[in-house]
Amino acid sequence: MLPAPYADPVDQVAARDRITDLVCDLPEASPEQLSFEHPWEIRAFAMAVSAHRELGFDWTAFQQALITSISGWEERTGTSDRGWSYYEHWLAALESVLADLGLLSTDELGRQTRDVLAVPANRNHHEAHTEPIAVDPARRTHH
Amino acid sequence: MSSTVRTPEEIAARVKALESMLIESGVMTTQAIDRMVEIYENEVGPQLGAQVVVRAWTDPAFKARLVADASEACKELGISGLQGEDMVVVENTEAVHNVIVCTLCSCYPWPVLGLPPNWYKDPQYRAAITREPRKVLRESFGFTVPDDVEVRVWDSSSEMRYWVLPQRPAGTEGWSDEQLLALVTRDAMIGVGPVGAVA
């Protein structure tokens, strides 16, 4: 028997409300418009919220790191929004907070990132399977 | 703070590497991250798949193109991307119900379904759905496929990613696209759940 695939919907609403409270004080983010264009963005988002919950660091530290990353980018690029990625700053802020806590070496992260890039996705699974791998046939019910 | 411009592949790899490092060092668990993602996952994927399904329900010519070449048909709706290159849609009928799995890893049609749920990656699901699909659907997902319907299980790989086109429920004639969209769940497109109930 597999574990229940879903959390209790009531818990989910409560969890979401707590996240909304966290997010509404962040620069450039409004909780109604939390949107994700790529799978990595939601992963980065979830990691920061989980890290805050697990480690209990002050959320304002994350907020401040996010402001720093965004303003640094604005200084570098002027007013143009070319290359803007909110979650890239989010990731940079998370890295910075974790590094300040002594929990992350960004050099090591750079090395591991290169390792990930060097391994093609699903390297063992390149064959197309064109037929069903299992069939549970229809049965006539007898009375 | 880094000032280098990164490609989408680079940044996705960096997020993946960071997650592995944090899990290895015990800072957080993959379950904690997955729970958080679950709260938002409907905002990153399945709604796109639902749009494709509704279009197929309401436009027979589109449905024919979708079944013939899902990746091309999805491009018509502006949906494409990483892990969506070789998608195949398997259509549920009165006689056949389809379910998807990736027996070796977690190949999954991201552009239409978003992130795979945690259980999809679970070795237990991958093994059990292949061995006893009907029973797993009933016992783990509370979803009973009638005995007179054949269950087919499709193994996605990186070369061919399957997803399920559910049947349009009876009693939805004349419904708006918005009403229909609300019926199409992620689980229905994986094949482990029904479409929403018609009130």
Q: Which of A23, A87, A101, A113 to mutate to test the interface with B (most CBs of B within 10 A)?
A: A113
Q: Are residues B91 and B114 in the same domain?
A: yes
Residue B3 lies in a domain: no
The CATH number for B184's domain is 3.90.330.10
The confidence score (pLDDT) of residue A5 equals 39
Domain hosting residue B166, numbered range: 46-190
Residue B196 lies in a domain: no
Number of folded domains in chain B?
2
Q: Are residues B102 and B175 in the same domain?
A: yes
> Cβ–Cβ of A19/B39 closer than 8 Å?
yes
Q: Which of A17, A20, A34, A43 to mutate to test the interface with B (most CBs of B within 10 A)?
A: A43
Instruction: With cut-offs at 50, 70 and 90, classify the pLDDT of residue B144.
Output: very high
Q: Are residues B24 and B60 in the same domain?
A: no
Q: CB contacts < 8 Å between A and B, how many?
A: 208
Q: Are residues B51 and B32 in the same domain?
A: no
A53-70 per-position pLDDT tens digit: 888 888 889 988 988 988
Which helix (DSSP H) or strand (DSSP E) does residue B133 occupy? helix B133-141
Q: Are residues B28 and B82 in the same domain?
A: no
B11-47 per-position pLDDT tens digit: 889 999 999 999 999 888 888 888 888 777 666 668 8
Nearest CA in chain B to A65: B1
Instruction: With cut-offs at 50, 70 and 90, classify the pLDDT of residue A42.
Output: confident
B157-171 per-position pLDDT tens digit: 877 889 999 999 999
Q: Are residues B36 and B52 in the same domain?
A: no
- Whether residue B124 lies within 8 A of chain A, CB to CB, comes out as yes
Percent of chain A with pLDDT over 70: 69
Selecting from A7, A19, A133 the residue whose C-beta is nearest the C-beta of B103 gives: A133
B143 vs A133, which has greater pLDDT?
B143
ipTM over 0.90: no
Quote the Cα angle for B29-B8-B38, to 5°. Answer: 35
Q: Are residues B94 and B160 in the same domain?
A: yes
Q: Are residues B147 and B85 in the same domain?
A: yes
Lowest mean pLDDT among A18-32, B118-132, B156-170: A18-32
Task: Assess whether pLDDT exceeds 90 at residue A75.
Answer: no
Catalytic positions of B are 102, 105-107
B4: exposed, middle or buried (C-beta count within 10 Å: 0-12, 13-18, 19+)?
Answer: exposed
Within the 10-49 window of chain B, which residues sit less than 8 Å (CB to CB) from chain A? 10-22, 25, 27-28, 32-41, 43-45
Percent of chain B with pLDDT over 90: 54
Residue B2 lies in a domain: no
Report which of A116, A42, A40 is spatially closest to residue B82, judged by C-alpha positions. Answer: A40
Report which of B156, B153, B162 is spatially closest to residue B90, judged by C-alpha positions. Answer: B162
Q: Are residues B135 and B156 in the same domain?
A: yes
The confidence score (pLDDT) of residue A4 equals 39
Q: Are residues B65 and B50 in the same domain?
A: yes
- Whether residue B144 lies within 8 A of chain A, CB to CB, comes out as no
B53 Cα distance to chain centroid: 12
Task: Assess whether pLDDT exceeds 50 at residue A3.
Answer: no
Torsion sign, CA atoms A22, A27, A28, A30 = positive
Residue B95 lies in a domain: yes
Q: Are residues B26 and B99 in the same domain?
A: no
B62-97 per-position pLDDT tens digit: 999 999 999 899 888 877 665 556 889 999 999 999
Q: Are residues B20 and B89 in the same domain?
A: no
**Which residues from B are below 8 Å from A126, CB to CB?**
157-159
